[in-house]
Amino acid sequence: MQISAAELALLLKGTVEGDPTVKLNSVAKIEEGTSGALSFLANPKYEPFLYTTQSSAVLVNKDFEPGQPVKTTLIRVEDAYSAFTFLLEKFGNPNSRLQGIHDSALISDKAEIGKEVYIGGLTCLEEGVEVGDGSKIFPQVYLGINVKVGKNCILYPGVKVYHECIIGDNCIIHSGTVIGSDGFGHAPQPDGSYKKIPQTGNVIIEDNVEIGANCAIDRATMGSTIIRKGVKLDNLIQVAHNVEIGTNTVMAAQSGIAGSSKIGKQVIVGGQVGVAGHIQIADGSQIGAQAGFLASVTEPNKKWFGSPALELRDELRASAIYRKLPELLKRIENLEKALKEK
């Protein structure tokens, strides 16, 4: 596809500063730009590349003020990052054009398939499954009995969704993720063995959720495990039975949430964070990587770090003391030696 800077600015409701007739036919990082490429500048760290880039045009925020003369054409928009993301979704996503049902797909005659749906090879849809309009179900996906998938979803190859689970509209689930596997419920017996507790609930994933590769979201023992609207989960995340993750929370890779815990709205969770069972994390919490929580966080909008987690400023103080321990130990030993010599 080829488009002029003026046409692109019209599409993005922006303005052109430079040559409006320059033709654009590709996208590139600002530091790797070539003739005909469109780049964007949102992070100030990359501003030096603006003055040397070979890209024919660069998206910048409307209020951006360059510190040096700029040779390339600028397209000023409200939010350069969001505008560039929009273009990648609209023109760079081959999934948007997929339609049809592969001959090798196994689909129950009691399943309901919406309009303009794609279903890839060796995918299995059990009875009672519903797939909404425009959704893309890639090869080797399994949808169990009575699973509901909303409109404009993407389930990448190898996703498994167990019976009775519900996925809202505009969700993306990446390869290898399992939705609705049994929660980790085992009752100890007098002889030291464990008896499995039936997991009779389901998982509900609301609209506009994205779940990375190789995640496991367990069904509830009773009721539902719930992932609220706008949640974004990275790869390799464990969400246990009866957990609830609040609206627009984001969570980085290898984090784990134990059973029946509640994560609030707009929470930011770093990688490898652990949350014990039956506790709550308040709205707006910001959690550093590898933090561990054994008790609830009740005050909203606080920063936490360490294991067990402390409020960030307390953890920084504790870390400063920890670094001084070898020096303090040496001083104590010298004092003890001096006392013995007296």
Integer Cα distance of 285 and 264 in angstroms: 8
Number of H helices, E strands in the chain: 4, 40
Determine how β-strand 274-275 pairs with β-strand 292-293: parallel
Please give the backbone phi and psi of residue 71, each rounded to the nearest 5 degrees, phi first.
Answer: -85, -35
Exposure of 303 by Cβ count < 10 A (0-12 exposed, 13-18 middle, 19+ buried)? middle
For the record, the structure tokens of 182 come out as 């049994």
Verify whether residue 241 is a known catalytic residue: yes
- Cα separation, 111 vs 128, whole angstroms: 5
Q: Is 268 helix (H, G, I), strand (E, B) or coil?
A: strand
Q: Among all chains, which residue has been given the structure tokens 């009775």? A: 164
- Name the phi and psi angles at 181, rounded to 5: -65, 160
Give the C-alpha separation, 310 to 299, whole Å.
13
Instruction: Point out the catalytic residue in the list 102, 174, 186, 241.
Output: 241
CA distance 6 to 18: 10
| Neighbour count for residue 298 (Cβ, 10 Å) | 10
Signed CA dihedral, 220, 214, 245, 253: sign only = positive
Structure tokens at 33: 């730009």
Q: Hunting for tokens 């609220």 — which residue is that? A: 228
Whether 264 and 276 have beta carbons less than 8 Å apart is answered as: no
Residue 132 is encoded by which pair of tokens? Answer: 């909404």
Q: What is the DSSP letter of 94?
A: G
Q: What angle do CA 182, 184, 185 make, to 5 degrees?
A: 100
**The pairing of beta strand 286-287 with beta strand 303-305:** parallel
Active site residues: 241
